[in-house]
Amino acid sequence: MNNIFSNAISFIKENLSITYSLFLVILIPVAFFINSYLINSNYEKNIDKIMQKKAVLVENTINTLIQNQFSDMPAIQSSIDRIMNDNKEIISLSILKPQEGGEEFEIIASGNKNIIGQKQEGQTQNLLAWNNPEGIAFLDRGNDGRFWEVTKSLSDISGKKIGLIDMSFSLKESDALINKTINDSNLILILTILFVILLIANQARLLGYVLTVTKLKEVDKMKDMFISMASHELRSPLTAIKGYLDLLKTEKDAAMVGHYIENISLSAQRLNNLVEDVLEVSRIEGNRLPIEMTIFDPGPIISQSLEEMRYSAMQKGLALNYVSPQTVLQIKADQDRFKQVLVNLISNAIKYTEKGAISVSVVVKKDKFLITVADTGIGMSTEDQANLFQKFYRIKNDYTKNVIGTGLGLWITLELIKRMQGKITVESIEGVGSHFTVHLPLASK
């Protein structure tokens, strides 16, 4: 987790412009969305306020009219017609007069001539408005969309209630306007998102370039390391071969001749190892490494590998032990590659052990076959363990500087194991020894 976090921080630091652009492409649509949301909700609030104001205006106009000429019905009716004509959003406007008893109201003037003279008895809306000086107003929905229903009492100059005004304001047009704004802003939002997606796609390409450049830099570094390693590793055995050959030209002593030839052979072997490792790396990287997974008993291959390595161990005075499993096992791997891995690990154990023993042991854990190569060698720090499987990685200390190596062996080993669906783990203590364990699938699975 911490690793991911620190990787992200270093990515941001190294690619400030990309991070900034990514931040922008996320911010733009979010800001746009919030903006259109705020505009729309404000718009709705404003429309409601406009309607309320209009209702108050109409009510005041009518009230003034009524206060002056309540008996002049034709004048009131013509005012209603005019108001309705001028304000298309008013869908109904009626004046009601209370009847004796106070429960019943008669429509005395209305925009709808057909209902003039109708009596409304016990209508809650009328009764509430009559008893509440503020009047009542509520939002409702009909076949023609949303509308405001407003009912309020009218009073004469002395303040005595003389009637009711009942109005309906249609929100159809304003709602249509709001919907249009919402649709328009949705369209623009979609276009913005599309635009942002295009930007991101472009950024992704940019990111691809950045990754390629980083990779190229890495390859370049690797190449430099390789050239310096290869030139050093090539030069020393070649110089040795040339030197011993020069000595051989004049050497008469048979024992010395034998010694020189032995050294030439060692240097040639060293050159051969280097060329082999480099070729193997190039095969693995170019995916040209054939892996043939078969089911086999690893016992004979383990014994064979031990026999091949016994001489080198003996030369250094190291014991080479094998703890074989009680039962015959069947594993699934590539036989040649399995042997190569084992020989690599045993050869390293011998190379990096001064005294003591190398032990190879096998155990079965769940569905896995585990083979461990343990030594009593120089061991390594936890930091080195973490870098061990990198290409060209060699631990530098007084002991290793005298050991011939390319730093490619463990990288090759890891790649081979991965291709056989296995894994490798290492446990090591400096000055005590190392345990390399290869995990491979058992055949039954």
In the complex, least distance from residue 390 CB atom to ligand ADP, rounded to whole angstroms:
9
* Residue 175 or 384 with smaller CB distance to ligand ADP: 384
In the complex, least distance from residue 435 CB atom to ligand ADP, rounded to whole angstroms:
9
Residue 408 binds ligand ADP (CB under 6 A): yes
* Residue 367 or 427 with smaller CB distance to ligand ADP: 427
Task: By CB under 6 A, name the one of 306, 342, 395, 438 that touches ligand ADP.
Answer: 395
* Residue 59 or 375 with smaller CB distance to ligand ADP: 375
Residue/partner pairs of 96-99 with CB below 8 Å, 24 or more apart: 96/120, 96/126, 96/163, 96/164, 96/165, 96/166, 97/162, 97/163, 97/164, 98/130, 98/161, 98/163, 98/164
Residue 63 binds ligand ADP (CB under 6 A): no
In the complex, least distance from residue 241 CB atom to ligand ADP, rounded to whole angstroms:
20
In the complex, least distance from residue 336 CB atom to ligand ADP, rounded to whole angstroms:
18
Residue 407 binds ligand ADP (CB under 6 A): yes
Task: By CB under 6 A, name the one of 393, 437, 441, 443 that touches ligand ADP.
Answer: 393
Task: Sort residue 38 into left (φ over 0), alpha (ψ -120 to 50) or beta.
Answer: alpha
Enclosing H/E stretch for 148: strand 145-155
In the complex, least distance from residue 357 CB atom to ligand ADP, rounded to whole angstroms:
13
Residue count of the chain: 445
- Whether 155 contacts 133, CB under 8 Å: no
DSSP 154: E
- Name residues whose C-beta falls within 8 Å of residue 191's C-beta, 6 or more positions apart in sequence: none
Residue 281 binds ligand ADP (CB under 6 A): no
In the complex, least distance from residue 387 CB atom to ligand ADP, rounded to whole angstroms:
9
Transcribe 80-136 into DSSP letters.
HHHHHHH-TTEEEEEEEEEPTTSSEEEEEEESSGGGTT-EEES-HHHHHHHH-TT-E
* Residue 25 or 281 with smaller CB distance to ligand ADP: 281
Task: By CB under 6 A, name the one of 65, 84, 434, 440 that touches ligand ADP.
Answer: 434
* Residue 173 or 430 with smaller CB distance to ligand ADP: 430
Residue 32 binds ligand ADP (CB under 6 A): no
Residue corresponding to tokens 């009219």: 65
In the complex, least distance from residue 266 CB atom to ligand ADP, rounded to whole angstroms:
16
Task: By CB under 6 A, name the one of 409, 414, 415, 440 that touches ligand ADP.
Answer: 409
Applying CB under 6 A, the site for ligand ADP has a residue count of: 21
Task: Report 333-392 residues binding ligand ADP (CB under 6 A).
Answer: 348-349, 352, 375, 377-380, 388
In the complex, least distance from residue 373 CB atom to ligand ADP, rounded to whole angstroms:
8
In the complex, least distance from residue 22 CB atom to ligand ADP, rounded to whole angstroms:
39
Task: Report 82-121 residues binding ligand ADP (CB under 6 A).
Answer: none
Which regions of 216-337 does DSSP assign to beta strands (E)? 294-296, 319-323, 331-333
* Residue 331 or 388 with smaller CB distance to ligand ADP: 388
Q: What are phi and psi of 20, to 5 degrees?
A: -65, -45
Using DSSP's 3-state secondary structure scheme, residue 11 falls into: helix
In the complex, least distance from residue 281 CB atom to ligand ADP, rounded to whole angstroms:
11
Residue 241 binds ligand ADP (CB under 6 A): no
- C-alpha–C-alpha distance, residues 144 and 166, integer Å: 18
Q: Is the dihedral of CA 190, 195, 199, 204 positive or negative?
A: positive
Residue corresponding to tokens 């080993």: 413
Enclosing H/E stretch for 247: helix 172-250
* Residue 331 or 395 with smaller CB distance to ligand ADP: 395
Residue corresponding to tokens 């031990």: 306
- Whether 430 contacts 441, CB under 8 Å: no
Q: Where does this chain bind ligand ADP (CB under 6 A)? A: 348-349, 352, 375, 377-380, 388, 393-395, 400, 405-411, 434
